[in-house]
A and B are shown apart, each in its own frame.
Chain A
Amino acid sequence: MPYEFRGDIAHADIAFDASGSTLEELFSAAAEATLKVMAEDPTAVRPTETVRVSLAEESLEMLLFEFLNELIFYKDARRLLLRPQWLEIGSEGVDSYQLQAALQGEEIDACRHQLDTDVKAVTMLRLSVHQVPGGWQATVVLDV
């Protein structure tokens, strides 16, 4: 998967790097990493429910922050484990980014999903989204 967990940042939290050739791939990889923190077997999460998300932020970092926070919100509010089934990111100028996504997943099943660690929040610690040769890279630290 295009994400890698890191052990060298904030020992009580969970840090990962994500990458993708497009912003959409990058955000999807970050979502998959977040799902993996909560469910040992994310492949067991079936696409039985769909939630639509629409976000607008001034920076790509804040867009990623808000996007991952949506996944965390639905985990608590509706007990849904979700991943993007479809995702589109656009921009208007240099300080306006929009995200439209359809998130799919299902209600938490403690046995089948092999639950791992509850994610509390996305932190601002080392949060970054930047362009690299061949695509995009992000660093995220989750509070757990």
Chain B
Amino acid sequence: MTTPAALKRIADTIWELPMSYKEGMLVPARIFASEKLVKEMDAGVFEQVCNVATLPGIQRYAYCMPDGHWGYGFPIGGLAAMDPGSGVISPGGIGFDINCGMRLVLTNLSAEEVLPRLHHLVDRLFARIPTGVGCHGFVKLKQDEFRQVAEQGSRWCLKHAYATHEDLEMTEEGGCFSGADASDVSVKAVERGFNQLGTLGSGNHYCEIQVVQPHNIMDAERAEAFGLTMVPNQVVIMFHCGSRGFGHQVATDYLKLFLGVMERKYGIKIRDRELACAPFHSPEGQSYFSAMKCAVNMAFANRQVILHRIREVFSDVFHKSPEELAMRMVYDVAHNTAKLERHTVNGRVKELLVHRKGSTRAFGPGAQGIPKCYDKTGQPVIIGGSMETGSYLLAGMSSGADAFFTTAHGSGRTMSRHEAKKQFRGDKLQHDMEQRGIYVRTDSFGGLAEEAGAAYKDIDEVVLTTELAGLSKRVARLVPIGNIKG
């Protein structure tokens, strides 16, 4: 790839495009990347991060994380903090899959205990967690009940015995963004999503069985604090999914609404229709913020009921209760959200509307809003790699303030889905992965081919870059042995 001539290296892992790079930029654009990663980034990243820099109210910089790649509106790996008083809210800065996120769950089982039953375990997970195109969930709700889920998130799950108090404590924002009002959500969004609670989806959504090998622990103290050192070769479960059709429809509805009012009513001109936005304090902006929170809450609840089912499956297969198997959550992190947070800008603490699209909040030690037990370590950050190459658990760092305490969210693609499908065959990939000790179940060989490891950036390079940039510290590398995907 060719990087823009104006791209200037500020530090080993920080690159900048000045305000003069594109007309209308209100702040410079900053990209966190190693030299290798920045060279791999497609032209769309530079174009899109500079478009973000033109949005009203943006503070300090428009950012892109080391896993950044070409998206729609914001690049994937995008971050922008707006002054809520003068700034906008943009669905394109959050994404269609609102609160797509990651959850990591412990067990006290070792790989040696799991491997003899791995096929049975993965087959049972695949049978009991709905995956793939248009799947309906295992939690059957009426539309009014679903609206309660949208307003209460994981709290609804607690009331209905799908969650423990500790699960909520280990979820960003306690598993519920307050201020979600289901009357801001269309009938169509509810119709699309009310039967999808308890579904994984497809694409890059998955549930993976992973092993913490002792030689892959990089920070022993934090690994112990996060519960990764109960037994050698400890087995953990990582899964990735979001708000399903409900969130997709909320984003679609408001994208269209904002396109209609942005210029006509508010005189805002933008470079890319996917950046359609409205003033945060406008009726439309507030209505979207509330609807977005409903989708965020649905996604938290979706991951929570899936966790409940994972616990049931493990319990059945290993003939022990989830408590006996120590199936506690490490944490749940959201990728695609906008949140009001307090950050320091020009020496003053102020409230900002932080858009994260394909990026992860990474609060450091002592930060408000993280569980007390992580006060000394910083917030756990879960970064999923490709299904072939492994994933990481990291921790937020005190040095992350420059990027509003935000880090990467995954490997980031380097190859289009179309190209990956041409290069790889899903059935062969499944066979090859099994030879390498990773048992995969899927409904879609085409979808599997799209997720081949070679279609992604080098996860080791991405997470190392986040550490060198002071965004998140590596705690342990997690190696996959089983995976279900849609």
Contact = CB atoms under 8 A, between A and B. Distances in A.
A104 to B, nearest CB: 17
Nearest to B446: A116
A7 B416 contact: yes
Contact of A7 (B96, B248, B419): B419
Contacts of B196: 76
A60 interface: no
Given A11-B417, A12-B69, A69-B252, A79 B444 contact: no
A25 B134 CA distance: 26
B134 A11 contact: no
Nearest to A57: B256
A125 B92 CA distance: 10
Interface in A1-36: 5-15
Nearest to A38: B133
Interface in B411-443: 413-419, 422, 443
A125 B202 contact: no
Contacts of B191: 73, 77
A79 B429 CA distance: 29
B350 interface: no
Interface in B377-405: none
A: contact size bracket:
35 or more
Contacts of B138: none
B124 interface: no
Contact of B444 (A6, A73, A81, A117): A117
A56 interface: no
A127 interface: yes
Given A10-B70, A120-B97, A123-B72, A75 B133 contact: yes
A79 B195 CA distance: 10
A121 interface: yes
B136 interface: yes
A27 B443 CA distance: 29
B245 A117 contact: no
17 contacts: A7-B417, A9-B44, A10-B44, A11-B42, A12-B413, A12-B417, A72-B245, A73-B249, A76-B248, A77-B191, A110-B132, A115-B447, A120-B97, A120-B248, A124-B255, A125-B274, A127-B273
Interface of B: 42, 44, 69-73, 76, 92, 95-97, 132-134, 136, 188, 191-193, 195-196, 201-204, 244-245, 248-249, 251-252, 255-256, 259, 272-274, 276, 413-419, 422, 443-444, 446-447, 450, 486
